[in-house]
Chain A
Amino acid sequence: MIQRRRWVRWLLVLAVLHGIVACAGFFAPYDPAEQDRERPYAPPMRIHWIDTKGNFNFRPFSYEQQLRAGSFDQFEERTDQIIPMIFMPEGARYHLFGLLPSHTHFFGGKTSRIYLLGSDAYGRDQLSRILYGGQISILAGLLGAGLTLAIGMLIGATAGYYGGWRDGLLMRVAELFVALPWLYLLFALRAFLPLSVSPLQAFFLIIVVIGAVGWARPARLVRGVVLSAKERDYVRAARGFGAADGYLLRRHILPETANVILTQAAILVPQFVLAEMTLSFLGLGVPEPVPSWGSLLASLQQYSVLVSYWWMYLPALAVVPFFLGYLGLASALQDNVGTGKIERTTSEGRW
Chain B
Amino acid sequence: MRYFLRRLTQAAFLLVGVSILTFLFSTLAPGNYFDEMRLNPQISPETAAALRAQYQLDRPLQVRYARWVNSLAHGELGFSFANNSPVAPLLWVRARNTLLLTLTATLISWALALTLGIWSAATLGRLPDRALSWATAALLVIPDLVLALGLLILAVRSGWFPAGGMSSVGIESFSPVQKFRDVAWHMALPVSALVLSAFPILVRHVRGAVAEVLEAPFLRAAASYGIRRRTLLYKYALRAAANPLISLFGFSVGALLSGSLLVEAVMSWPGLGPLLLEAILARDLYVVIGGVLCSTVFLVAGNFLADTLMYWADPRIRTGAPAK
Using a CB–CB distance below 8 Å, which chain A residues touch chain B? 172, 175-176, 179-185, 187-195, 270, 274, 277-278, 281-284, 294, 297, 300-301, 303, 306-307, 310, 313, 316-317, 319-320, 323-324, 327, 345, 348-351
Contacts and interface: CB of A to CB of B under 8 A. Distances in A.
Contact of A306 (B156, B204, B248, B291): B156
B255 A184 contact: no
Contact of B26 (A192, A274, A282, A317): A192
A181 B280 contact: no
B18 A180 contact: yes
Nearest to B21: A176
B187 interface: no
B247 to A, nearest CB: 9
A179 B299 CA distance: 8
Dominant secondary structure at the A interface: helix
A347 to B, nearest CB: 9
A184 B261 contact: yes
Contact of A323 (B28, B142, B255): B142
A181 B254 contact: yes
Contacts of B258: 181-184, 350
Interface string B282-295: 01000011011001
B144 A348 contact: no
A300 B157 CA distance: 13
9 contacts: A184-B291, A193-B28, A274-B145, A282-B265, A300-B149, A307-B156, A323-B140, A349-B140, A350-B144
Nearest to A185: B292
A349 B255 CA distance: 11
Given A184-B261, A317-B146, A323-B143, A306 B21 contact: no
Given A180-B295, A184-B261, A313 B153 contact: yes
A182 B300 CA distance: 14
A184 B17 contact: no
Given A181-B257, A282-B277, A297-B149, A195 B142 contact: no
Contacts of B262: 183, 278
A227 to B, nearest CB: 19
A323 B296 CA distance: 29
Contacts of B25: 188-189, 191-192
Contacts of B201: 348-351
Interface in B36-88: none
A184 B297 CA distance: 12
Contact of A180 (B251, B276, B280, B292): B292
A313 B150 contact: yes
The 8 A-B pairs with the shortest beta carbon distances in the complex, nearest first, are A183-B258, A192-B29, A316-B146, A191-B280, A181-B257, A181-B258, A323-B141, A324-B141
Given A180-B292, A345-B248, A351-B254, A316 B299 contact: no
Contacts of A193: 28-30
A266 B88 CA distance: 40
Contacts, number: 147
Interface of B: 14, 17-18, 21-22, 25-26, 28-31, 137, 140-146, 149-150, 152-153, 156-157, 163, 197, 201, 204-205, 248, 251-252, 254-255, 257-259, 261-262, 265-266, 276-277, 279-281, 283, 288-289, 291-292, 295-296, 299-300
A306 B153 contact: yes
Contact of B143 (A175, A274, A306): A274
Contacts of A175: 14
A270 B259 CA distance: 16
B143 A319 contact: yes
A283 B150 CA distance: 19
B60 to A, nearest CB: 17
A229 to B, nearest CB: 24
Nearest to B300: A179
Contacts of B266: 301
Given A183-B262, A188-B22, 13 more contacts: A176-B17, A179-B296, A180-B292, A183-B259, A187-B261, A188-B292, A193-B30, A195-B280, A274-B143, A303-B156, A303-B163, A310-B153, A316-B145
A188 B288 contact: yes
Contact of A351 (B153, B157, B255, B296): B255
Contacts of B254: 179-182, 351
A333 to B, nearest CB: 16
A348 B29 contact: no
Scoring B140, B145, B157, B288 by chain A CB atoms within 10 A of each residue's CB, the highest score goes to: B145
A284 B280 contact: yes
B261 A320 contact: no
Scoring A183, A274, A324 by chain B CB atoms within 10 A of each residue's CB, the highest score goes to: A183
A175 B18 CA distance: 11
A321 B208 CA distance: 26
A300 B150 CA distance: 10
Contacts of B283: 191, 195
Nearest to A323: B141
Contact of A191 (B14, B18, B279): B279
A320 B142 contact: yes
Contacts of A348: 140, 201, 204-205
A313 B60 CA distance: 47
A176 B14 contact: yes
A282 B264 CA distance: 12
